């Protein structure tokens, strides 16, 4: 035993290693990414780890491994499960052999996501058990419990932490022992082939299994009843830690149910908790899953207990929970005073600080050159964006992202726009990792159906937004192997894209010219802008503003680079932030920006 | 030992590393630690905060409003944004050099650093102003502002650790190529004389 400071995701990773995981697959996505990364970093050589091209692929690779008896873990963020929902729904019917855990990190807030969807609904929808940890130290052992449950009943198990658990750190006691899972191998059997008749039979089975697991969960050590009184609180996930802290100083008697297994709902335990209570507040992030279950139970058992929470307007229906949110609800509904009121004086106006593309980011140059090229042509144009750092291209002054929906949708939305609005140009932006994730089917669809769009591929040789993971175009695997790079250019040409050109976005004239030609082409065309992410390759040619600056501010107003600001009425370049991309040098009308030597 | 400390800054200023060093140092003294960070899209030059909570297993990972013993502000406006979390008797260490967002230069809200610093001075029981730019020059790298600020906190007795405790964490937990740089930065912060 030793104690380590671990982030929730790191604790889950080490817990999975301890539980004898053999195969780990996933696709990066905040707040889930560090689970797979930590396993890759800390694994023994017999654990296989891969970044798959997307979540559906990852789920299926993990399922295949599990069919042999291997313990498999697949990791993704909540929207990733939408992509992987097809295999998940069927896998719930077919079942698994080796323990298979589907780690899906939800993102209340959202901090870095398109939706605030609640994966506990998916668990219920797919008839699968789900665990919901409150702290990193709890998650460390709970993931092992999830593997055991999966193997015991031959069912995939969902493990659902939320952002504030994934990204919180805590002192965690680490076990040196590791469970060794023997892999039997795949045994041929008709049970692995899904057919309507089998599906009917298995539907009955999985419903029966839910009842069994509900009883198991009622006895789980991760669910606890503490305290006493006629008022109660049910809390799950991070909200439990807020309830616990708020009640530290409270004098009133309260009965608390900490609930870590929201589905199948542990009815027996909940009934024991409800016994003798008049009123219960439910503290859970995202949707009222526990709250609805309590209402169901009260109706079923004829209990007269008032259940308050999101459905009564006592808890917010959107956004992440905080101590303040939970403490205010405790005070309002149960009369428990715990919040400390502090009212600082009125603050002076503060500058807004939205996230921006980094100084020197090649995406800025790509967006700018497309903007310039389209200005020259005088066409009306719509710019469809996609998911990644480059979604930030929507901000002023670039203003080059008119739509953003989900992974891979930029290319396909552009096609729909073109069909219904044929006289405009439709330009889709997509990053390299997103291209491999779900971009390619859209390209094939456009070529096959004779659409006329231009696709701009922003190839920065990494999955930048989530912290620089390798992908098929990088020639590196998560196991550290060097593999043949999959050429985006060859993929496009192999899909019969009629016009494909590569360009360096940091060479403005060349870049604008490449875009102008591609946009002119009738049919599907593509520009691959190749320039590495600045977090991977530090520039050295740092720029500064020279004395002949006339103060026109063209650089700032055109580019919005965060290394530039106006200080004392003059444009200045922060020497620590500048990465030497020299886009500003090419935009300056009076050649007033240059390197130190110049 | 029970301390709640908030670090506020801008993505790229190193708040995450500073909070990890504090938490790791507590753990090296067998004290329980929790922390939480901003990770994801906001890291791209946006506002970031790290919470570090030492000495209580029963607390949540985020410091409630009005409960922080200490705020280490890497940037004046970001310190103001989080001032409500400070205890009435809480203390504040603040880098006085603003990071002016490009949006301010594009005609968004303007940035009046003098008003902001004045407000900070009046908001904390004790506010220590640090000329980060000057100390960064002394340390030889702008990347070390985070550890310089820790050096100031130690010298002022605002964290329950000695200089040696932090140096040990730096030596034990950071990649070897960054140890000398950060050890020097800690010294620069530690030897800092008050700036009025």
Judged by CB atoms closer than 8 Å, whether chains meet at B46 and A348 is answered as no
- Cβ burial of A46 (10 Å; 0-12, 13-18, 19+) is exposed
Q: Which of A344, A186, A507 is nearest to B122 (CA)?
A: A344
* Residue B56: half-sphere exposure toward Cβ, Cα within 13 Å: 16
Question: What is the pLDDT at residue A31?
Answer: 96
The shortest C-alpha distance from A164 to chain B (Å) reads: 7
Lookup: tokens for A252: 């009133």
Q: Which residues contact B60 (CB under 8 A, 6 or more apart)?
A: A238, A241, A242, A244, A245, A323, B34
Instruction: Give pLDDT < 70 ranges for chain A.
Output: 338-343, 597-598
For residue A249, cis peptide bond before it (omega within 30 degrees of 0): no
pLDDT at A597: 56
Determine the distance in angstroms separating the CA of B107 from the nearest CA of chain A, rounded to an integer: 9
Q: What is the Cα Rg of chain A in Å? A: 27
Q: What whole-number distance in Å separates Cα of residue A9 and Cα of residue A36?
A: 9
| Three-point CA angle A150, A5, A42, nearest 5° | 55
Homologous superfamily assigned to A2-214: Thiamin diphosphate (ThDP)-binding fold, Pyr/PP domains (3.40.50.970)
Distance from CA of A593 to the nearest CA of B (A): 18
Which CATH number applies to B3-190? 3.40.920.10
Closest by Cα among A119, A350, A146, A90 to A236: A119
Structure token digits, residue A246: 């708020």
Contact: A358, B40; criterion CB under 8 Å: no
CATH code, residues A543-595: 3.30.70.20
Shortest CA gap B152–chain A (Å)? 22
3-state secondary structure of B154: helix
> Inter-chain contact B36–A357, Cβ cutoff 8 Å?
no
In a 3-state reduction of DSSP, which class is residue A349?
Answer: coil
Nearest C-alpha in B relative to A554: B106
- Best residue in A344, A364, A575, A578 for a mutation probing chain B (most B CBs within 10 Å): A344
How many whole angstroms separate alpha carbon B79 and alpha carbon B182? 23
- The answer to whether domain A2-214 and domain A543-595 are alike in fold is no
| DSSP letter (8 states) at residue B127 | E
**Does the bond joining A264 to the residue before it have cis omega, within 30 degrees of 0?**
yes
Q: How far is B173 from chain A (nearest CA, A)?
A: 11
ipTM of this complex:
0.94
Round to whole Å and give the CA distance between A139 and A130.
Answer: 13
Mutate to test the interface with B, among A348, A469, A577 (most CBs of B within 10 A): A348
Contacts of A5 in chain B (CB under 8 A): 20, 23-24, 27, 33, 35
Nearest to A164 among B23, B36, B104 (CB): B36
B110 to chain A: closest CA residue: A351
For residue A7, which residues of chain B lie inside 8 Å, CB to CB?
A: 37
Beta-carbon contacts of residue A128 (< 8 Å; ≥ 6 apart): A88, A92, A102, A122, A155, A156, A157, A158, A263
Among the partner residues A168, A323, A348, nearest to B116 by beta-carbon distance = A348
Q: What pLDDT, on a 0 to 100 scale, did the predictor assign at position B196?
A: 43
Number of residues that this document lists for chain B: 196
Q: Could you say which of B32, B65, B108 has the minimum Cβ distance to residue A324?
A: B65
The residue of chain A nearest to residue B123, with distances taken between CA atoms, is A344
Q: Give the pLDDT of residue B116.
A: 95
- CATH level 2 (architecture), domain A224-334: 3-Layer(aba) Sandwich (3.40)
Instruction: Give the DSSP letter of residue A480.
Output: S
Q: What is the biggest distance separating any 2 CA atoms in chain A, rounded to whole angstroms?
A: 83
pLDDT tens string, chain B, 196 residues long: the values are 899 999 999 988 999 999 999 999 999 999 999 999 877 666 667 899 999 999 999 999 999 999 999 999 999 999 999 999 999 999 999 999 998 888 777 766 678 899 999 999 998 889 999 999 999 999 998 889 999 999 999 999 999 999 999 999 999 999 999 999 999 999 999 998 655 4
**Tokens matching residue A23:** 């195969």
C-alpha span between A424 and A420 (Å, rounded) = 10
| Residue B177: Cβ within 10 Å count | 7
B40 and A31 in contact by Cβ < 8 A? Answer: yes
> Mutation test of the interface with chain A: which of B14, B18, B20, B39, choosing the one with the most A Cβ atoms within 10 A?
B39
- Chain B residues whose CB is inside 8 A of the A342 CB are 65-66, 84, 86-88
Nearest CA in chain A to B38: A167
**Among 3.40.50.1370, 3.20.20.220, 1.10.760.10, 3.40.50.970, what is the CATH number of A362-530?**
3.40.50.970
Would you state the pLDDT for residue A433?
97
Q: Which of B36, B85, B137 best tests the A interface by mutation, with the highest count of A CBs <10 A?
A: B36
**Sequence-separated (6 or more) residues with CB below 8 Å from residue A346:** none
Cβ–Cβ gap A351/B103 under 8 Å = yes
């Amino acid at each position: 035993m030793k104690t380590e400071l671990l982030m929730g995701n790191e604790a889950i990773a080490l817990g999975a290693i301890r539980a004898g995981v053999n195969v780990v697959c996933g696709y990066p996505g905040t707040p889930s990414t560090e689970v797979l990364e930590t396993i890759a970093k800390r694994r023994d050589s017999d654990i296989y780890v891969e970044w798959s091209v997307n979540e559906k692929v990852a789920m299926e690779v993990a399922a295949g491994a599990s069919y042999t008896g291997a313990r498999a873990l697949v990791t993704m963020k909540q929207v990733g499960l939408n992509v992987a929902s097809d295999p998940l729904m069927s896998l719930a019917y077919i079942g698994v052999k080796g323990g298979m855990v589907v780690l899906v990190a939800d993102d209340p807030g959202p901090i870095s996501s398109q939706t605030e969807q609640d994966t506990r609904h998916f668990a219920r929808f797919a008839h699968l058990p789900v665990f919901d940890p409150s702290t990193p130290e709890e998650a460390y052992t709970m993931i092992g419990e999830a593997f055991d449950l999966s193997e015991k009943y031959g069912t995939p198990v969902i493990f659902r932490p939320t952002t504030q658990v994934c990204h919180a750190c805590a002192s965690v006691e680490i076990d040196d022992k590791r469970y060794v899972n023997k892999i039997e191998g795949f045994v041929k059997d008709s049970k692995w082939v899904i057919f309507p008749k089998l599906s009917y039979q298995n539907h009955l089975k999985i419903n029966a299994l839910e009842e069994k697991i509900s009883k198991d969960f009622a006895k789980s050590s991760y669910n606890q009843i503490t305290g006493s009184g006629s008022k109660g609180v049910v809390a799950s996930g991070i909200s439990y830690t807020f309830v616990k802290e708020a009640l530290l100083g409270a004098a009133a008697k309260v009965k608390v149910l900490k609930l870590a297994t929201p589905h199948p709902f542990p009815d027996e335990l909940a009934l024991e908790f409800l016994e003798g209570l008049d009123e219960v507040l439910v503290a859970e992030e995202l949707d009222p899953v526990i709250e609805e279950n309590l209402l169901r139970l009260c109706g079923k058992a004829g209990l007269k207990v008032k259940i308050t929470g999101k459905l009564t307007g006592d808890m917010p229906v959107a956004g992440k929970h905080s101590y303040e949110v939970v403490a205010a609800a405790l005070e309002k509904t149960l009369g428990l005073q715990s919040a400390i009121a502090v009212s600082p004086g009125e603050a002076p106006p503060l500058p807004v600080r939205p996230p921006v593309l980094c100084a020197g980011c090649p995406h800025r140059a790509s967006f700018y050159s497309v903007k310039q090229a389209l200005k020259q042509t005088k066409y009306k144009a719509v710019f469809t964006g996609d998911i990644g750092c480059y979604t930030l291209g929507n901000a002023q002054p670039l203003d080059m992202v008119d739509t953003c929906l989900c992974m891979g949708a930029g290319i396909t939305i552009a096609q729909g726009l073109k069909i219904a609005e044929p006289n405009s140009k439709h330009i889709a932006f997509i990053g390299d990792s997103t291209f491999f994730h779900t971009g390619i089917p859209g390209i094939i669809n456009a070529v096959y159906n004779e659409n006329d769009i231009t696709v701009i591929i922003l190839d920065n040789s990494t999955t930048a937004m989530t912290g620089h993971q390798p992908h098929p175009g990088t020639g590196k695997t998560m196991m550290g192997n060097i593999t043949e790079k999959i050429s985006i250019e060859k993929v496009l040409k192999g899909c019969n894209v009629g016009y494909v050109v590569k360009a360096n976005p940091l060479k403005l004239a060349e870049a604008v010219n490449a875009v102008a030609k591609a946009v002119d082409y009738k049919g599907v065309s593509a520009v691959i802008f190749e320039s590495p992410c600045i977090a991977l390759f530090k520039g050295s040619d740092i720029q500064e503003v020279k004395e002949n600056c006339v103060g026109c501010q063209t650089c700032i107003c055109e580019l919005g680079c965060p290394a530039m600001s106006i200080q004392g009425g003059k444009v200045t370049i922060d020497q620590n932030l500048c990465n030497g991309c020299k886009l500003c040098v090419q935009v300056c009308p009076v050649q007033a920006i240059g390197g130190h030597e110049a | 030992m029970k301390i709640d400390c908030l670090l506020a800054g801008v993505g790229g200023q190193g708040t995450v590393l500073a909070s990890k060093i504090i938490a790791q140092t507590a753990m090296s003294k067998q004290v329980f630690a929790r922390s939480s960070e901003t990770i994801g899209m906001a890291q791209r030059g946006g506002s970031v905060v790290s919470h570090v909570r030492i000495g209580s297993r029963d607390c949540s990972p985020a410091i409630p409003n009005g409960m922080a013993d200490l705020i280490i502000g890497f940037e004046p406006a970001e310190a103001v944004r989080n001032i409500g979390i400070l205890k009435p008797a809480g203390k504040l260490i603040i880098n006085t050099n603003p990071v002016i967002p490009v949006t301010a230069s594009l005609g968004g809200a303007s940035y009046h650093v003098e008003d902001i610093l004045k407000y900070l001075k009046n908001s904390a029981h004790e506010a220590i102003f640090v000329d980060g730019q000057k100390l960064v020059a002394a340390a030889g790298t702008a990347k070390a502002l985070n550890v310089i600020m820790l050096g100031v906190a130690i010298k002022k007795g605002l964290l329950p650790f000695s200089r040696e405790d932090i140096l040990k964490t730096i030596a034990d937990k950071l990649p070897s190529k960054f140890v000398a740089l950060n050890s020097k930065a800690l010294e620069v912060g530690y030897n800092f004389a008050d700036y009025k």
